[in-house]
Amino acid sequence: MALPPSWAWVLLGCASASLAGALSLSDLYPPLWQESPGQFSDYRVENGKYVIDPWVFTDRMGMYKVLLNRTATYFAKFGPENEQNLLWGLPLQHGWQYRSGRLADPSRQTDCGYKSNALCVSVSSWSADFNYFLSVLPFLAALDSGVMGTSPDKVTLLPPPKDQMRFCYNVSDCLASFPDLMNQWRIFYEVLCLNFNYFLSVLPFLAALDSGVMGTSPDKVTLLPPPKDQMRFCYNVSDCLASFPDLMNQWRIFYEVLCLSGGRKAFKFHNSPAMLLPVCCAPGKAWGPTSEDQFY
């Protein structure tokens, strides 16, 4: 139903980078961003639980806003005002859906999503249903990983007025229905908590070595461990494959697809998570750790 999250991060990050490069991100906030909840306490509380209705536009947008706020600290070094957060693509896309009327009832049999009920998100809308999984899965996975600082048991997601069986509403149900997506989102958040900058450089670098696009054998490269917490990281292809098989394999596939028609080319990596994609240099140009080509 959706792209694997590791590919989604790259695509969303590129979208964020291109937007941020054209305008200040403050000019590009999604509609009703200020009116949407930005922390759990902004939602109503019933029986000691935060109640979120994903079928109300501001409640669903608030899930993205809370997620961005809770992960902001991990992206602070890459730019001001959280503008380099890889997750910006999610609320920006949802805002576009709202502006373009894609969240309204396409049959017009109800007023859901129209002027008299503008905040309603219609369960009859294909776009709204698809976006449900692009909001709820990363949100619940973040809760489950501990990034949000709130237990999943403290949050209640309300079902739509009909077709309730088509969706999942808590961590256990979504894990049962979408185990791969939930687990990969969880890995993403766990990497954030460990040392995001390290994995943004080391995993794609080792995967590039392993794929052959760097023109150097992985055995010819030694990565030095940090002065402490050495067990939290991996330092070679085999160890990183064992710890992060999905991420490493998908990076390897990316390099193989990217250079399938162009032959072996050198790569230069940018020092921003939103510019994570390697840039193919001219054939034959040597890559080296110059001041412009350093891993951040």
Place of tokens 């067990």: 231
User: Is 289 contained in some domain?
Assistant: no
Residue 18 has pLDDT above 60, yes or no: no
Rounded to whole angstroms, how far apart are CA atoms 29 and 21? Answer: 14
Cβ neighbours around 229 below 10 Å, total: 10
**How many domains would you assign to the chain?**
2
> Do 201 and 183 have their domain in common?
no
> Do 117 and 235 have their domain in common?
no
> Do 148 and 51 have their domain in common?
yes
Strand 49-52 versus strand 155-157 pairing type: parallel
Rounded to whole angstroms, how far apart are CA atoms 29 and 68? Answer: 12
Would you state the pLDDT for residue 170?
A: 97
Angle between helices 179-211 and 245-258 (to 10 degrees): 50
Domain end call among 169, 187, 205: 187
Residue 17 has pLDDT above 90, yes or no: no
User: Is 54 contained in some domain?
Assistant: yes
> Do 180 and 203 have their domain in common?
no
User: Is 262 contained in some domain?
Assistant: yes
Would you state the pLDDT for residue 160?
A: 97
> Do 230 and 140 have their domain in common?
no
Segment 246-269, tens digit of pLDDT: 878 888 888 877 776 454 443 444
Q: Residue 232 — very low, low, confident or very high, per pLDDT cuts 50/70/90?
A: confident
Q: Report, as an integer, the average pLDDT of 148-153.
A: 94
> Do 17 and 150 have their domain in common?
yes
User: Is 287 contained in some domain?
Assistant: no
User: Is 285 contained in some domain?
Assistant: no
User: Is 95 contained in some domain?
Assistant: yes
* Cβ pair 134, 90 in contact under 8 A: yes
Residue 207 has pLDDT above 80, yes or no: yes
Would you state the pLDDT for residue 35?
A: 96
Segment 177-203, tens digit of pLDDT: 999 999 889 888 877 876 666 777 888
User: Is 43 contained in some domain?
Assistant: yes
> Do 103 and 134 have their domain in common?
yes
Highest mean pLDDT out of 49-63, 69-83, 172-186, 213-227: 49-63
Would you state the pLDDT for residue 99?
A: 95
Domain end call among 187, 209, 238: 187
Residue 290 has pLDDT above 80, yes or no: no
- Give pTM, 2 decimals: 0.66
For residue 90, give its domain range: 5-187
Segment 82-99, tens digit of pLDDT: 888 889 999 999 999 999
> Do 181 and 35 have their domain in common?
yes
Domain end call among 149, 166, 187: 187
> Do 59 and 175 have their domain in common?
yes
Rounded to whole angstroms, how far apart are CA atoms 57 and 67? Answer: 16
Mean pLDDT of the chain: 80
User: Is 286 contained in some domain?
Assistant: no
Residue 274 has pLDDT above 70, yes or no: no
> Do 79 and 122 have their domain in common?
yes
At residue 218, the 3 state secondary structure works out as helix
> Do 75 and 37 have their domain in common?
yes
Cβ neighbours around 144 below 10 Å, total: 21
Would you state the pLDDT for residue 26?
A: 53
> Do 143 and 238 have their domain in common?
no
